[in-house]
Amino acid sequence: MLAKAREIVGGQDERWWSAEVSRLEGDLTRMQGGTQEEVQRCYLSALETAREQQAKSWELRAATSLARFWSDQGKRLEARDLLAPVCGWFTEGFDTPDVKHAKALLEELAT
């Protein structure tokens, strides 16, 4: 399904969803036991695309996924340094699931 989504996103210039598709590819690759390099490549692609589009919600999702991945690898400082500034941009919407999840991960990384 993600391959089909990638095809649609690329073929119709529907780049709005591109960052999220890359993030989901990272999640799927991770669940299927892909290499750390493959997983990180997907998350970094999602993060880069979101930043290019100035899509803060997609960037928050990508940063949260990458931070969780790094944290699980023992790279807690790098994860916190990535996620903290992205969380800091949000001055409203604190009750949304994405912001709640990111803030909870950030708190976990601070301990």
**CB of 45 within 8 A of CB of 22?**
yes
CB 60 within 8 A of CB 98: yes
pLDDT for the residue numbered 85: 96
What is the C-alpha separation between 20 and 43, in angstroms, rounded? 9
Radius of gyration (Cα) for the chain, nearest Å? 14
**Residue range 10-19, pLDDT digits in tens:** 555 556 678 9
What CATH number is given for 2-110 in this structure?
Answer: 1.25.40
Share of the chain above pLDDT 90, in %: 77
Rounded to an integer, the average pLDDT of 80-102 is 93
What is the Cβ-side half-sphere exposure of residue 79, based on CA atoms within 13 angstroms?
A: 24
- The pLDDT, as a whole number, for residue 14 is 54
Reading the block at residue 57, the tokens are 């919600």
**Phi and psi at residue 45, in whole multiples of 5°?**
-65, -45
